[in-house]
């Protein structure tokens, strides 16, 4: 009978050891393979990439395992060189986006959790394409590895296209040649694919592998209340970002249709529980749309909503998408919004720089543009 090959990137280190034991191979070989996968960033199971594994182990891997990774369909750099965006093709030809960002001296991989998204936020290119499918843990891990390989190649070759210097310090310094930060803010709703995402995070955090710290992984959710409560219960080591966009139930539901399923008051109760249980601050994301949610009154409403909660607001000027006629907030309005949060509510906030806009670096936009 034909059995599906096991994709090694979907196994935790423990599972890899169990698999090797099942095959009757000593665990030292599993340990070697693990370090080839996550320290050497091997992208094939050839004798060249696995030189220290015996032939019988390599033959078994060739017959029953795979390292199948998404392939680059398109890679685009923003004109300022701070953002590189990959459109990756999965084995069934679905396409997802992964973005490498170099802001404020940090290198961050922005990765996808689903192909498409079922949540239907009106301004979002991924929402506009509907839900296609969940990604597997291997497909989520492979995106981080894709970025990690790019960084390593860039530092080895000092390729100016891949290591465009940030001013200052240069992006080719050792600190930026390793992947340290991952945000689940690409395509899809990560809490709608909870098990696969958490499994992938366990692999990314493994101290004998990519070793991403808990402080270095941020998951952004549209507000899937049961998922937020589960994260709190399981005390998952990550940062949580919640996409708010409005402090008014009706206004929010017009932008984020799932707000009808998980209303604002239930969402805020879940956020409070999360912060109380974990002691963590939540980032609240707010896509700024001119004339919709960027007035001083809107700023005061979010200030009141978040009063007493450990919070930071991340303001994201809208990236225009084809199926939504909203326009981005003007910089003065974003600044005024920020000042109200700071002065009237002592609420910290950031405005996301719109770098990468020229390569349609908004969520899901490259996949749409390439269709
Ligand atoms: N599904 C999750 C994570 C992916 S979207 C979520 O919704 O949180 C990541 C962030 O990008 C969200 O805050 C989302 O609202 C925002 N976003 C999506 N499309 C955008 C656009 N066209 N312009 C600006 N922000 C956008
Ligand atoms: Fe899905 Fe997030 Fe886009 Fe909403 S903003 S449609 S939840 S990816």
Structural domain count of the chain: 2
Tell me which of 186, 189, 221 to substitute to probe ligand 2's pocket, judged by most ligand atoms within 8 Å of the beta carbon.
189
Cite the DSSP H helix spans in the chain: 13-23, 27-38, 55-64, 125-129, 137-157, 194-205, 225-234, 249-255, 264-278, 296-305, 331-345, 365-369
Q: Is 310 exposed, middle or buried (0-12, 13-18, 19+ CB in 10 A)?
A: middle
The pLDDT assigned to 167 comes to 43
Among residues 51, 66, 81, which one ends one of the domains? 66
pLDDT given for residue 157 in this prediction = 77
Does ligand 2 have an atom closer than 6 angstroms to the CB of 124?
Answer: yes
31 and 179 within one domain: no
Class of residue 114 by CB neighbours under 10 A (exposed 0-12, middle 13-18, buried 19+):
buried
> Which residue owns the Cα nearest ligand 2 atom 6?
127
pLDDT (mean) for 2-12: 89
Residue 165 CA to ligand 2 centre (angstroms): 32
Q: Is 97 a catalytic residue?
A: yes
Say whether pLDDT at 356 is over 80. no
Rounded Cα gap, residues 56 and 62, in angstroms: 10
Q: Are residues 60 and 127 in the same domain?
A: no
Atom of ligand 2 nearest to the CA of 117: 1
Q: Are residues 58 and 43 in the same domain?
A: yes
Domain assignment present for residue 334? The answer is yes
Closest to 306 (Cα-Cα) out of 328, 286, 329, 284: 284
Helix (H, G, I), strand (E, B) or coil at 108: strand
Residues 131 and 81 in one domain: yes
Kindly report the protein residue whose alpha carbon is nearest to atom 4 of ligand 1: 185
Is the CB–ligand 1 distance for residue 69 below 6 Å? no
User: Which domain, by its residues, includes 183?
Assistant: 71-359
Ligand nearest to the CA of 193: 1
Residues 233-250: what's their mean pLDDT? 96
Choose, from 121, 124, 271, 363, the residue flagged as catalytic: 363
Determine the 3-state secondary structure of 30 from DSSP: helix
Whose tokens are 């070989």? That residue is 29
Distance CA 217, CA 198 (A): 11
215 is catalytic: no
Between the alpha carbon of residue 359 and those of residues 57, 322, 341, 363, the distances in Å are: 44, 14, 31, 11
Any domain includes 268: yes
236 and 321 co-located in one domain: yes
Assigned token pair, 228 = 């937020």
CATH number for the domain spanning 24: value is: 1.10.150.530
Q: Do 60 and 82 fall within a single domain?
A: no
10 Cα: distance to centroid of ligand 2 (angstroms): 24
Atom of ligand 1 nearest to the CA of 184: 3
Is position 368 within any domain?
no
Q: Is residue 323 part of a domain?
A: yes
Q: Are residues 163 and 41 in the same domain?
A: no
28 pLDDT above the threshold of 50: yes
The 10 Å Cβ neighbour count of residue 358 is 13
More confident residue, 285 or 174: 285
Is this structure's pTM higher than 0.85?
A: yes
Give the distance (Å) from ligand 1 centre to CA of residue 363. Answer: 6
Can you give the pLDDT at residue 370?
45
Q: Say which residue, 42 or 106, is predicted with more confidence.
A: 42
Query: 168: pLDDT confidence band, cut at 50, 70 and 90?
Result: very low
| 160 burial via Cβ count (<10 Å: 0-12, 13-18, 19+) | exposed
Closest protein CA for atom 13 of ligand 1? 243
Quote the pLDDT of residue 78.
83
| 43 and 123 inside one domain | no
Q: Indicate whether 47 and 98 sit together in one domain.
A: no
């Amino acid at each position: 009978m034909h059995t599906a090959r096991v994709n090694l990137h979907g196994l935790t280190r423990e599972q890899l050891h169990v698999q090797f034991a099942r095959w009757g191979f000593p665990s030292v070989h599993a340990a070697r393979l693990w370090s080839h996968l996550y320290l050497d960033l091997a992208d094939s199971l050839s004798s060249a990439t696995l030189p220290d594994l015996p032939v019988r182990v390599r033959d078994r891997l060739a017959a029953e395992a795979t390292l199948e990774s998404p392939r680059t369909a398109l890679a685009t750099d923003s004109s300022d060189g701070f953002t590189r965006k990959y459109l990756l093709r999965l084995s069934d030809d679905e396409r997802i986006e992964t973005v490498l960002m170099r802001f404020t001296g940090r290198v961050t991989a922005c990765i996808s959790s689903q192909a498409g998204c079922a949540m239907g936020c009106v301004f979002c290119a991924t929402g506009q394409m509907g839900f296609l499918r969940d990604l597997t843990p291997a497909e989520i891990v492979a995106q981080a590895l894709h970025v990690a390989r790019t960084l390593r190649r860039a530092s080895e070759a000092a390729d100016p296209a891949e290591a465009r210097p940030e001013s200052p310090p240069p992006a080719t310094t050792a600190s930026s040649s390793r992947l340290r930060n991952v945000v689940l803010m690409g395509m899809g709703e990560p809490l709608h694919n909870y098990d696969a995402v958490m499994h992938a995070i366990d692999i990314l955090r493994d101290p004998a592998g990519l070793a991403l710290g808990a402080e270095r992984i941020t998951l952004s959710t549209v507000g899937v209340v049961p998922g937020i409560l589960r994260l709190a219960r399981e005390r998952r080591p990550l940062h949580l970002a919640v996409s708010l966009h409005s402090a008014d139930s009706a206004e929010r539901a017009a932008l984020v249709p799932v707000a009808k399923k998980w209303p604002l008051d239930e969402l805020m109760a879940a956020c409070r529980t999360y912060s109380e249980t974990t002691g963590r601050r939540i980032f609240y994301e707010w896509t700024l749309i001119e004339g919709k949610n960027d007035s001083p009154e809107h700023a005061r409403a979010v200030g009141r909503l978040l009063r007493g909660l450990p919070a930071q607001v991340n303001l994201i000027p809208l990236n225009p998408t084809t199926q939504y006629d909203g326009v981005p907030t003007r910089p003065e309005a974003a600044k005024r919004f920020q000042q109200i949060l700071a002065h009237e509510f002592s609420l910290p906030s950031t405005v996301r720089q719109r770098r990468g806009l020229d390569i349609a670096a908004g969520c899901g936009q490259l996949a749409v543009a390439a269709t």
